[in-house]
């Protein structure tokens, strides 16, 4: 049952996708820690805080937190790194406006983390239902819209054209579409902006607000046991299949490794590869926009990691702590729910609900 | 962008010839405007084919795959800072540049080579000046380099191919001088004498050669500050005598500073790039080769 949970519930392509991230025994603290470290190392290398992560991991080595404290230490490393400006801030935007924007972004993300645990991977929410209606006070600044996030409703790598539903409440600050964010692939949260530099790293911090930090916590919670088991996998499957369809069209002319020339972009399994060259410089222009090779690999790895964690925990569902069995019992995905018939888990969660 | 030429730092006769080729981006965008002191075709019309000069050998344009070529180093392979003062240098090339600094023991080499690589290739390891019909001038430069120096250097297994190659790689080296890298220290045991010039498209090999050139420049010439390194990269003659009064000297320096600013590398950040580099701790060509390249890859034709 458990070994083929992904194949049974979602299909062979999802099982193969999970293999990109590898497998581990969720009951083993050592294997779980190794998986977490490997995942964080990949994220940090791509996003740019490898040094901060390495320092944080070095500080943990030899302590009693070495196995269980990895994730928290990595998050703290990202917090510190992301709070520092990585580019000169535009003088056209007053600090008070920048702070107002950071605050709204921060609060919107926190609210989504509380209220959308099952659909956190891909946020698609009327702005009017979000804190401050996802608008910030822009004051005298005329170079910003007042919307806390970029509009990303047109067809792109992550979704088809999106418009507000007829019954959706109207948004303020000219939100005419839902707020759409792919938090599962943070910091590449917009399917129309898959350049090498991820747009959501530019979510400036303004003490005490740090939306990038909140977003990273939410995104990485999706491959932590509890967050993973709370997320509806069918949403992630849909997102993945849309993405791969779009990418297949964009990469139609890209050779499959080992065909192709050294130094040029090639497809290698689900990932992109450049022999003896910089993947950071490679990418494809497509009708849906530019697709950075590095961004593509990062996105695929995020999908793969989600399903690898799901597979590892589904395999031992009956032996998981009550909190995780409760998450399984309340997951919207019936294919996951069937893994637990534990009345205690169902009862407790019902009491909490 | 200038027609920048490395001086013969990689040859036995380090007397002032051209080592590096024109900037890849410049050539692709501008055609040819002769302005470098080592430019042997100065005065010829842009892109005009030279009489009695060979056209590129079609074989040399065939891409090669390589057996035994290590991939790019990763963050785990180096000790230095991969975050501070790199500007927009691609993340996945930073470990290679840091590996160069650590192998050569030239503090500041990583950021300096990033600025050089930005100008010479825009970080494209496959940058090649000399493979297009209108790049005869670049082939002329490599041909002259080969003809004038082959008698006083160890033989190259692919000498004629190098002569017709032009320049390329991450740091825009002229093929013959690239293949003669290290002959001053190692003579006939220099590691690239038997190599196909297309090996310069391997970033590790290109970086090894750049380290050797940088060390020789610092050890043998009056390099007074960071921009002087880029001047010497173009022509050491500009670092001597009246060279410093020339317009070319000034423009190369200006371009270097502008490149650093565009890339986002702060030349005043002494912790990552000291105001004056030195090669006093240079461990030797063989050691640097071992640390950056290891075993020389062997070519394999691509179908």
Burial of B256-270, coded b for 16+ CB within 10 Å and e otherwise, reads beebbeebbbebeee
**Confidence (pLDDT) at B55:** 54
Distance from CA of B100 to the nearest CA of A (A): 16
Task: Classify residue B17: in a domain, yes or no.
Answer: no
**Confidence (pLDDT) at A310:** 98
Q: Which two tokens stand for residue A98?
A: 């920048």
Q: Check CB contact of B81 with chain A, cutoff 8 Å.
A: yes
Residues of B in contact with A46 (CB under 8 A): 91
Q: Is the pLDDT of residue B48 over 60?
A: no
- pLDDT tier at B170, thresholds 50, 70, 90: very high
Q: Which two tokens stand for residue B7?
A: 């001086």
Q: At what angle do helices A12-21 and A293-315 cross, to 10 degrees?
A: 100
Query: Dihedral of the CA atoms A31, A33, A34, A37 (nearest 10)?
Result: 160
Would you kindly state where each structural domain of chain A is located, as residue ranges?
A: 5-84+222-352, 95-215
DSSP-derived pairing of the beta strands B173-174 and B298-301: unpaired
* pLDDT tens digits for range B133-157: 777 887 888 899 999 999 999 999 9
- Please compute, for residue A311, the number of CA atoms within 13 A of its CA located in the half-sphere on the CB side: 25
**Is the pTM value of this prediction over 0.95?**
no
Of residues A46, A263, A280, nearest to B201 (C-beta): A263
Task: Classify residue B8: in a domain, yes or no.
Answer: no
**Confidence (pLDDT) at A94:** 87
Which are the contacts of A289, defined by CB distance < 8 A and separation ≥ 6?
A156, A157, A192, A193, A194
- pLDDT tier at A197, thresholds 50, 70, 90: very high
Q: Do B74 and A45 touch (CB under 8 A)?
A: yes
Q: Which letter does DSSP use for residue A110 in this model?
A: H
From its phi and psi, is residue B39 left (phi > 0), alpha (psi between -120 and 50) or beta?
beta
Q: Check CB contact of B46 with chain A, cutoff 8 Å.
A: no
B16, B237 contact by CB (below 8 A): yes
- pLDDT tier at A43, thresholds 50, 70, 90: very high
Q: How far is CA A96 from CA A93, A134, A138, A147, B279, in A?
A: 8, 17, 9, 15, 49
Q: Check CB contact of B77 with chain A, cutoff 8 Å.
A: no
**Confidence (pLDDT) at B20:** 56
**Residue B1, Cα to own-chain centre: how many angstroms?**
16
Interface test with B, best of A41, A85, A197, A276 (most B CBs within 10 A): A276
Q: Is the pLDDT of residue A312 over 90?
A: yes
Residues of A in contact with B266 (CB under 8 A): none
**Confidence (pLDDT) at A185:** 98
Q: How far is CA A331 from CA A100, A116, A117, B47, B197, in A?
A: 35, 12, 10, 68, 60
Task: Classify residue B3: in a domain, yes or no.
Answer: no
Q: Does ipTM surpass 0.90 in this model?
A: no
Q: Is the pLDDT of residue B42 over 50?
A: no
Q: What angle do CA A108, A242, A225 make, to 5 degrees?
A: 55
Which are the contacts of A83, defined by CB distance < 8 A and separation ≥ 6?
A205, A207, A210, A213
* Distance separating alpha carbons of residues A14 and A320, to the nearest angstrom: 23
Instruction: Give me the residues of B, 224-283, that contact A with CB < 8 A.
Output: none
Q: Check CB contact of B63 with chain A, cutoff 8 Å.
A: yes
Q: Which letter does DSSP use for residue A169 in this model?
A: P
Q: Do A264 and B126 touch (CB under 8 A)?
A: yes
Q: Is the pLDDT of residue A203 over 70?
A: yes
Of residues B75, B81, B123, nearest to A281 (C-beta): B123
Which are the contacts of B207, defined by CB distance < 8 A and separation ≥ 6?
B96, B97, B99, B100, B113, B170, B171, B292
A319, A339 contact by CB (below 8 A): no
- Range with lowest mean pLDDT among A4-18, A287-301, A334-348, B216-230: A334-348
* pLDDT tens digits for range A74-131: 999 999 999 887 777 777 788 899 999 999 999 999 999 999 999 999 999 999 999 9
Minimal-distance CA residue of chain B relative to A42: B75
Helices H, strands E: what count in chain A? Answer: 13, 6
Q: Is the pLDDT of residue A342 over 80?
A: no
Q: Do B201 and A48 touch (CB under 8 A)?
A: no
* Distance separating alpha carbons of residues A189 and A194, to the nearest angstrom: 9
Interface test with B, best of A80, A262, A273 (most B CBs within 10 A): A262
B141, B41 contact by CB (below 8 A): yes
Provide φ and ψ at B173, rounded to 5°. Answer: -85, 145
Q: Which letter does DSSP use for residue A171 in this model?
A: P
Interface test with B, best of A45, A263, A277, A292 (most B CBs within 10 A): A277
Which are the contacts of A150, defined by CB distance < 8 A and separation ≥ 6?
A190, A193, A199
* Distance separating alpha carbons of residues B199 and A103, to the nearest angstrom: 53
Residue B203 is part of which domain span?
Answer: 24-42+56-301
Q: What is the mean pLDDT of residues B54-73?
A: 73
DSSP-derived pairing of the beta strands A283-286 and A289-292: antiparallel
Residues of B in contact with A294 (CB under 8 A): 91-92
DSSP-derived pairing of the beta strands B64-67 and B298-301: antiparallel
Q: What is the mean pLDDT of residues B199-209?
A: 96
Q: Check CB contact of A90 with chain B, cutoff 8 Å.
A: no
* pLDDT tens digits for range B103-133: 999 999 999 999 999 999 999 998 988 777 7
**DSSP collapsed to 3 states, chain B:** CCCCCCECCCCCCCCCCECECCCHHHHHHHCCCCCCCCCCCCCCCCCCCCCCCCCCCHHHHCCEEEECCCCCCCHHHCCCCCCCCCCCCCCCCHHHHHHHHHHHCCCCHHHHHHHHHHHHHCCCCCCEECCCCCCHHHHHHHHHHHHHHHHHCCCCCCHHHHHCCCEECCCCEEHHHHHCCCHHHHHHHCCCCCCCHHHHHCHHHHHHHHHHHHHHHHHHCCCCCHHHHHHHHHCHHHHCHHHHHCHHHHHHHHHHHHHHHHHCCCCCCCCCCCCCCCCCCCCCHHHHHHHHCCCCCEEEECC
**Confidence (pLDDT) at B43:** 30
- pLDDT tier at A148, thresholds 50, 70, 90: very high
Residues of A in contact with B128 (CB under 8 A): none
Of residues A50, A275, A277, nearest to B82 (C-beta): A50
B165, B139 contact by CB (below 8 A): yes
Q: Which two tokens stand for residue A319?
A: 């032996």
- Range with lowest mean pLDDT among A17-21, A35-39, A65-69, A113-117: A65-69
Q: What is the mean pLDDT of residues A201-230?
A: 96
Q: Is the pLDDT of residue B39 over 70?
A: no
Q: What percent of chain B is modeled with pLDDT above 70?
A: 78
**Confidence (pLDDT) at A249:** 94
| Average pLDDT value for chain B | 82
A277 versus A220: the higher-pLDDT residue is A220
* Distance separating alpha carbons of residues A85 and A238, to the nearest angstrom: 35
Provide φ and ψ at B271, rounded to 5°. Answer: -70, -25
Return the number of other C-beta atoms located less than 10 Å from residue B287's C-beta.
Answer: 13
Into how many domains does chain B fold? 1
Three-state secondary structure call for residue A135: strand
**Confidence (pLDDT) at A140:** 75
Q: Check CB contact of B24 with chain A, cutoff 8 Å.
A: no
Task: Classify residue B292: in a domain, yes or no.
Answer: yes
Q: Is the pLDDT of residue A23 over 90?
A: yes
Q: Is the pLDDT of residue B9 over 60?
A: no
**Confidence (pLDDT) at B23:** 59
Instruction: Give me the residues of A, 291-310, that contact B with CB < 8 A.
Output: 294
Q: Do B82 and A46 touch (CB under 8 A)?
A: no
What number of C-beta contacts closer than 8 Å exist between A and B?
63
**Confidence (pLDDT) at B146:** 95
Q: Do A276 and B203 touch (CB under 8 A)?
A: yes
Helix (H) / strand (E) containing A290: strand A289-292
* Distance separating alpha carbons of residues A40 and A24, to the nearest angstrom: 15
**Confidence (pLDDT) at A343:** 74
Q: Do A279 and B92 touch (CB under 8 A)?
A: yes
Q: What is the mean pLDDT of residues B163-169?
A: 92
Residues of A in contact with B71 (CB under 8 A): 275-276
Which are the contacts of B284, defined by CB distance < 8 A and separation ≥ 6?
B185
Q: Check CB contact of A54 with chain B, cutoff 8 Å.
A: yes
DSSP symbols for A177-239: S-EEE-GGGTT---TT-BSSS-GGGG---BTTB-HHHHHHHHHHHTTSHHHHHHS-HHHHHHH
* pLDDT tens digits for range B234-286: 888 899 989 999 999 999 999 999 999 999 999 999 999 999 999 999 999 99
């Amino acid at each position: 049952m458990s070994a083929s949970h992904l194949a049974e519930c979602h299909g062979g392509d999802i099982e193969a996708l999970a293999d990109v991230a590898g497998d581990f025994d969720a009951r083993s603290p050592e294997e779980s820690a190794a998986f977490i470290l490997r995942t964080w190392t990949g994220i940090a290398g791509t996003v740019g805080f490898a040094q901060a992560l390495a320092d944080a991991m070095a500080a943990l080595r030899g302590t009693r937190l070495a196995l269980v404290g990895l994730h928290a230490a990595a998050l703290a490393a990202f917090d510190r790194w992301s709070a520092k400006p990585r580019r000169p801030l535009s003088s056209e935007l007053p600090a008070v406006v920048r702070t107002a924007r950071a605050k709204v972004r921060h609060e919107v993300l926190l609210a989504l983390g509380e209220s959308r645990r099952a659909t956190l991977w891909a946020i698609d929410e009327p702005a009017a239902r979000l804190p401050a209606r996802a608008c910030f006070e822009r004051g005298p600044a005329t170079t910003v819209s007042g919307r806390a996030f970029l509009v990303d409703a047109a067809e792109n790598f992550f979704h088809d054209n999106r418009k507000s539903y007829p019954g959706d409440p109207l948004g303020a600050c000219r939100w005419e579409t839902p707020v759409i964010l792919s938090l599962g692939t943070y910091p590449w949260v917009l399917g129309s902006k898959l350049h090498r530099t991820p747009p959501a790293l530019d979510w400036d911090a303004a003490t005490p607000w740090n939306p990038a930090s909140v977003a990273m916590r939410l995104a990485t919670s999706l491959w932590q046991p509890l967050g993973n088991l709370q997320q509806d996998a069918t949403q992630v499957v849909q997102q993945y299949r849309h993405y791969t369809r779009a990418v297949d069209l964009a990469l139609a002319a890209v050779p499959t490794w080992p065909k192709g020339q050294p130094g040029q972009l090639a497809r290698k399994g689900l990932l992109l590869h450049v022999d003896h060259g910089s993947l950071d410089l490679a990418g494809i222009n497509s009708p849906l926009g530019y697709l950075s090779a590095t961004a593509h690999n990062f996105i695929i790895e995020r999908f793969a990691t989600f399903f690898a964690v799901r597979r590892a925990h589904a395999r031992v569902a009956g032996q998981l702590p009550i909190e995780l069995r409760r998450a399984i019992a309340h997951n919207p995905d019936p294919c996951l729910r069937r893994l637990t018939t534990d009345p205690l888990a169902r009862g407790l969660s019902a009491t909490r609900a | 962008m200038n027609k920048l030429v490395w001086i013969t730092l990689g040859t036995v006769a380090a007397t002032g010839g051209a080592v590096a080729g024109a900037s890849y981006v410049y050539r692709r965008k501008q055609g040819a405007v002769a302005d470098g002191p080592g430019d042997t075709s100065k005065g010829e019309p842009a892109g005009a084919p030279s009489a009695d000069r060979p056209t590129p050998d079609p074989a040399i344009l065939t891409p090669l795959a390589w057996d035994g070529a290590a991939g790019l180093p990763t963050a785990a392979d180096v000790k230095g800072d991969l975050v501070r003062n790199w500007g927009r240098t691609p993340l996945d090339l930073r470990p290679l540049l840091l590996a160069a600094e650590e192998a050569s023991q030239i503090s500041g080499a990583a950021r300096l080579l990033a600025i050089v690589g930005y100008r010479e290739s825009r970080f494209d390891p496959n940058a090649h000046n000399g493979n297009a019909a209108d790049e005869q001038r670049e082939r002329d430069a490599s041909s002259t380099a080969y003809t004038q120096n082959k008698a006083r250097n160890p033989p190259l297994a692919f000498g004629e191919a190098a002569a017709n190659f032009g320049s390329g790689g991450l740091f825009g080296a002229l093929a013959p001088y690239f293949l003669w890298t290290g002959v001053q220290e190692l003579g006939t045991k220099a590691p690239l004498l038997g190599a196909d010039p297309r090996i310069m498209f391997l970033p590790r090999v290109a970086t090894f050669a750049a380290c050797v050139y940088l060390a020789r420049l610092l050890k043998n010439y009056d390099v007074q500050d960071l921009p002087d390194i880029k001047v010497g990269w173009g022509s050491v003659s500009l670092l001597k005598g009246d060279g410093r009064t020339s317009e070319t000297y000034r423009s190369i320096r200006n371009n270097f500073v502008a490149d650093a600013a565009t890339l986002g590398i702060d030349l005043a950040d002494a912790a990552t790039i000291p105001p004056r580099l030195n090669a006093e701790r240079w461990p030797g060509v063989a050691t640097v080769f071992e640390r950056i390249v290891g075993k020389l890859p062997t070519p394999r034709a691509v179908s």
